């Protein structure tokens, strides 16, 4: 599997877990994470983030969103 495919699969897993945790559908979760820069964060920090648990990744994404004006808690 290519590195790009691994990154895409990881991003999809993160969005899915975020959606599950906060009771959102996938489209709403992606829109929220994209708007408040968590998708960008995951892409830029994939090398570190993918070594953590999905729970840690969700917490990191929640913090990034909050730092950029997001409101989910």
pTM metric for this prediction: 0.92
pLDDT at 70 over 90: yes
What tokens appear for 52 in the block?
């953590």
What tokens appear for 4 in the block?
């790009």
- The per-residue pLDDT for range 22-68, each reduced to its tens digit, is 999 999 999 999 999 999 999 999 999 999 999 999 999 999 999 99
Give the model's pLDDT for residue 1.
87
Average pLDDT over residues 12-20: 98
What tokens appear for 25 in the block?
């559908």
Give the model's pLDDT for residue 17.
98
Give the model's pLDDT for residue 42.
97
What is the rounded distance in angstroms from the CA atom of residue 53 to the CA atom of residue 31? 22
Taking the CA of residue 39 as centre, how many other CA atoms within 13 Å lie in the half-sphere pointing to its CB? 14
Nearest CA to 60 among 10, 5, 6? 10
């Amino acid at each position: 599997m290519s590195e790009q495919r691994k990154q895409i699969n990881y991003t999809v897993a993160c969005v899915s877990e975020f959606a599950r945790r906060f009771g959102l559908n996938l489209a709403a979760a992606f829109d929220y994470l994209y708007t408040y820069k968590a998708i960008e964060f995951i892409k830029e920090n994939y090398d570190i983030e993918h070594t953590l648990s999905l729970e840690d990744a969700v917490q990191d994404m929640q913090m990034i969103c909050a730092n950029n004006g997001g409101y989910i808690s």
